[in-house]
A = this chain, B = another copy of it.
Amino acid sequence: MILATPSAPLVDRQAKPGGSVFSVGGVEIGGPEVIVFAGPCAVESEAQIIAAARAVKAGGARILRGGAFKPRTSPYSFQGLGSEALGILREAREETGLPIVTELMDPRHVDEVVETADVIQIGARNMQNFLLLSEIGRSDKPVLLKRGPSASVEELLMAAEYVAKEGNERIVLCERGIKTFETTTRYTLDLGSVAVLKRETHLPVIVDPSHAAGRRDLVLPLARAAIAVGADGVIVETHPRPEQALCDGPQQIPTAEFAAFAAEVRELVALMGKQIG
């Protein structure tokens, strides 16, 4: 244990030395499978999501991502379709059988989001929204907790502890890049922290190369690196027409290229002696 203040007993590795394995929407995470989560940044329309979901499924990814409520730096940017998007996500699940991960931003939306989603995402900007953490800790849905762009490993573990303390220990941590002086990537993907997290906590850890890179040509090499360093999965953005995307276009992989992307990831996974899910 190398942290300065090791005081997150519920999520500490020592609590479950073998690591946590649990089901997210019927898919086991934390075990031998490397799980690929994929889908567009935001739900923009039924046609867009259904197209994306089919490509995601065909490529072998196991969980569909898509934002209904979008936290945006500017109040004038697209903020997501909200409740309407939740309905569209339910259709996509019906159509493809893929479980859904979507972000919860507002404690007043807890019921609505918990009802629809198979995995509740807490976004990077809300990693220390302690109220939201506690709320979701009282739900029975698995949580995808993204590291804040300036959160230390210790702060991330403490945030997870807020969820666990309320009774929900089905938490997947997600490294998605931190803020540094380097500008050729949008954030600096901190894979050292993934290796640290695998030693410090029993929770599964996945990596989001899309947000870290901010450009699609780096998503594949960073996804491979994430798997090689020991991540339990990756979450990537894919969109039928990235050039028309309402957010994060430059980092989304065209769905037409998703199968090729997934095949390359799968190849590394196989070589690492894992299965892909």
Q: Select the stretch in A35-43, A153-161, A252-260 that faces chain B.
A: A153-161
A224's closest neighbor in chain B, by CB? B228
Interface of chain A residues 225 through 241 with chain B (CB within 8 A): 225-230
Which B residue sits closest to A74, measured CB to CB? Answer: B158
> Does A179 belong to the interface (CB within 8 Å)?
yes
> Is the pair A180, B178 in contact by a Cβ cutoff of 8 Å?
yes
Q: Which of the candidate stretches A12-20, A50-58, A192-200 sits at the interface with the other chain?
A: A192-200
Query: B residues within 8 A CB of A4?
Result: 183
* Most chain B C-beta atoms within 10 Å of own C-beta, residue among A165, A183, A213: A183
The interface residues of chain B lying within 8 Å CB-to-CB of A244 are: none
Chain B residue nearest to A131 in the complex (CB): B106
A: interface residue count bin: 35 or more
The minimal Cβ–Cβ distance linking A19 to chain B, given in whole angstroms, is 15
A242 lies within 8 A of chain B by Cβ: no
Cβ B230 vs Cβ A228 within 8 A: no
- Whether B131 lies near A2 (C-beta < 8 A) is no
Q: Residue A130 contacts which of B105, B165, B224 (CB distance < 8 angstroms)?
A: B105
Residues of A65-107 whose CB lies within 8 A of B: 71-76, 105-107
Determine whether the beta carbon of A72 is less than 8 Å from that of B213: no
**Contacts A130-B105, A192-B212, A192-B222 given: A184-B3 contact, CB under 8 Å?**
yes
Q: Are B182 and A178 in contact (CB under 8 A)?
A: yes
Contact of A225 among B158, B177, B179, B225 (CB under 8 A): B225
Can you name the residue of chain B whose Cβ is closest to the Cβ of A186? B192
Partner of A152, one of B74, B184, B222: B184
Interface residue? A149 (CB, 8 A): yes
- CA of A110 to CA of B125, assembled, Å: 20
Chain A residues within 8 Å of B, Cβ to Cβ: 2-5, 7-8, 71-76, 105-108, 125-126, 128-131, 134, 148-150, 152-155, 158, 161-162, 165, 177-185, 188-196, 198-200, 212-213, 215, 217-218, 221-222, 224-230, 268, 271-272
User: Could you list 11 further interchain pairs (A-B, Cβ under 8 angstroms) beyond the known A8-B74, A72-B130, A152-B183?
Assistant: A4-B183, A107-B108, A108-B108, A150-B179, A182-B192, A184-B193, A192-B212, A192-B213, A192-B222, A224-B229, A228-B268
